[in-house]
Amino acid sequence: MTALPPDIGSARRAFPPGFAWGTATAAYQIEGAVAEDGRTPSIWDTFSHTPGKVDGGDTGDIAVDHYHRFREDVRMMADLGLTSYRFSIAWPRVQPTGRGPASERGLDFYRALTDELLAHGITPVATLYHWDLPQELENPSNGGPAGDGGWPARETAYRFADYAALAAEALGDRVPTWITLNEPWCSAFLGYGAGVHAPGRTDPGDALRAAHHLNLGHGLAVGALRAALPASAQVSVSLNLHVVRPLGDRPQDLEAARRIDAVGNRIWTGPMFRARYDEDLLEDTAHLVDWDALVHDGDLTETSRPIDLLGLNYYNPTVVSASADPEHRPREDGHGSGAHSPWPGADAVAFHRANDDVTAMGWPIDPTGLSDALLTMHREFGLPLIISENGAAFQDTVAPDGTVHDPERTAYLRRHLDAVADAIDAGADVRGYFLWSLLDNFEWAYGYDKRFGIIHVDYDTLVRTPKSSAHWYAEVIRRGGPD
């Protein structure tokens, strides 16, 4: 048999030494125990308890009870051979009113969790904000001039930096990697524009104000983290950058793609990496917000504080064309299609499925978007990258013998890991892959209907069962990459 040239064959799928093989979760989606040890309500508690907001009236009150079962969960991670685990810290657990001193009882949970991870040889990666803003900060008393609270209020960015400092002071000795925000696009545009996420507000100007204050909060938090953490700590952010593809090459379709790229991607990467909001974005949205009043002198210096690592959350590409229908309301696939748009300044845009091979969320499966995004980020920002989320929901069923066989998820993961390897081969500096998600969990406005876990959870008994994809992933980790 002729030997393969060195650039193809088994060597092509090799991942770099030290590559982090992880899974990811978020506090409100798994912890439960929402009223224990001093935790106060977050905007997601309020939203999920509001009739009609979440499918089936589901809430995160119990979720998968990770708060009480984290030792069992960490043991399962260790059995799978995970080298890293990305979790989020619940802000209302560690700083119940969103301001003032930390709650030691709240911090103790994360001390215990991270100790348990380290004892099992698993490196913790902590996300500070995965959407659970303390309700107290959303209330109008946390006011800007208009009396509105939440992320549209500038005040919230400063509160976030204070919380980041408290978390880093308490956990900085054991958590080497910190992520400021998870998917700020969802916080701003699904939460304050489309209203399909907490807090359910629907004002495009508020959504844009929220976006700037999330950018500012990120930058201020980077500063607070640097001040509190050892020099070796790595600071990152997780962005769900949209892989925007025009449906055709008509000028109006290219224009639609430009608008979505502006308000989906460059609204984050501009201030975070280039200390600017691009002119076209400012023009597209000038009728919705007064940018001169919103962005204060010095803000863009704060937002662009350097970070060490950039996290990409990738699920599917975004295919767009121009829409002739002035009443058309664009929607983000899978995040509801209500009357309000999550795309301010881009009303005349239609969204299309990239193909008909879809997950249970209706999201098209297209791994080329992952390699494209990694290579674009590598070229544009030159930073080390991680995939901080990637995975799929499918309608999993438990077989009579108690096993859960999920070949579609395994195929999805295999194809996406191949796409990561493609990007590495082409020069992207990718340091880790965090599969979404470890456990089936509360999928926001979809409640418990959508299962993303590689570990099945019986929501009546809370019994955990690794799916066949979990066994496959364990083998990938053992071998250092998929075959």
Positions in the binding site for ligand IFM (CB under 6 A): 26, 29, 183, 313, 389, 436, 443, 452
Q: CB of 379: closest distance to ligand IFM in angstroms?
A: 24
Residue number with CB closer to ligand IFM (187 or 304): 187
Q: What are phi and psi of 291, to 5 degrees?
A: -65, -35
Residue number with CB closer to ligand IFM (29 or 103): 29
Residue number with CB closer to ligand IFM (21 or 436): 436
Q: How far apart are CA 63 and CA 59, in angstroms?
A: 7
Q: CB of 458: closest distance to ligand IFM in angstroms?
A: 19
Q: Look up residue 365 and give its DSSP letter.
A: -
Q: CB of 21: closest distance to ligand IFM in angstroms?
A: 19
Catalytic residue among 136, 183, 408, 443: 183
183 catalytic per annotation: yes
Cβ-based neighbour number of residue 247 at 10 Å: 16
Q: What kind and span of H or E run contains 86?
A: strand 84-88
Q: How far apart are CA 166 and CA 160, in angstroms?
A: 10
Nearest residue to 102 via CA among 193, 182, 37: 37
Q: CB of 249: closest distance to ligand IFM in angstroms?
A: 31
Catalytic residue among 332, 389, 408, 443: 389
Closest residue to ligand IFM, based on beta-carbon distance: 26
Helix (H, G, I), strand (E, B) or coil at 73: helix
Q: CB of 12: closest distance to ligand IFM in angstroms?
A: 29
- Residue identified by tokens 């091979």 is 357
H helix count then E strand count, the chain = 17, 13
389 catalytic per annotation: yes
Q: How far apart are CA 250 and CA 256, in angstroms?
A: 10
Residue number with CB closer to ligand IFM (144 or 447): 447
Q: CB of 218: closest distance to ligand IFM in angstroms?
A: 17
Helix (H, G, I), strand (E, B) or coil at 246: strand
Residue number with CB closer to ligand IFM (163 or 442): 442
Q: What are phi and psi of 396, to 5 degrees?
A: -75, 145
* Contact criterion met (CB below 8 Å) for 350 and 330: yes
Distances 110 to 82, 90, 94, 107, 172 between C-alpha atoms, Å: 19, 9, 9, 5, 11
Residue number with CB closer to ligand IFM (179 or 256): 179
Residues carrying an active site annotation: 183, 389
